Amino acid sequence: MAQRNAGVYRIREFAALAGVTVRALHHYDQLGLLKPSGRSTSGYRLYRDCDLARLEQIVVLKFLGLPLKEIAGLLKRQSPLPDTLRRQQQVLTRNVVSSTWPSTRSNRPSDRPARRADPTGIFSRRS
């Protein structure tokens, strides 16, 4: 068995370490989001510990709802991450507020005007 370099992982090991699928890593490679650090003599993609930091950025930005195209642009431009996160927080806050804000009309029984009791049934009869 060949000696392994410390901090160098084949794709399956790297995926397990990062908590993503091998398929996701292939996709990120195709999009140019995360290129492997190298290839083995057998052609396997090889990743290093430094690739893990970039993958963590991708995963966090994806979790926050940014599309992969926008993530690629952010990582290429090296744009200020705090500005991006602030903008994304504003979008998420707007979405949460709009989805939880009570509407002007409610169908909950507690929000409807109370009906007066009519024990005789006189007012509920139609002539």
Residue 124 is predicted with a pLDDT of 55
31 belongs to a structural domain? yes
Tokens of 19: 């908590």
Q: Which domain holds residue 86?
A: 8-98
Residue 115 is predicted with a pLDDT of 56
21 belongs to a structural domain? yes
Residue 48 is predicted with a pLDDT of 94
68 belongs to a structural domain? yes
Residue 71 is predicted with a pLDDT of 87
Residue that the structure tokens 């927080």 belong to: 89
117 belongs to a structural domain? no
Domain count for the chain: 1
13 belongs to a structural domain? yes
Residue 76 is predicted with a pLDDT of 80
16: CATH: 1.10.1660.10
120 belongs to a structural domain? no
Residue 19 is predicted with a pLDDT of 93
Query: Residue 5 has what DSSP assignment?
Result: P
Question: Which of 81, 52, 49, 53 has its CA nearest to residue 70?
Answer: 81
What is the reported pTM? 0.60
123 belongs to a structural domain? no
The rounded average pLDDT for each run of 10 residues, N- to C-terminus, in the chain (127 residues) is 70 94 96 93 92 90 86 76 73 70 55 54 54
Residue 3 is predicted with a pLDDT of 47
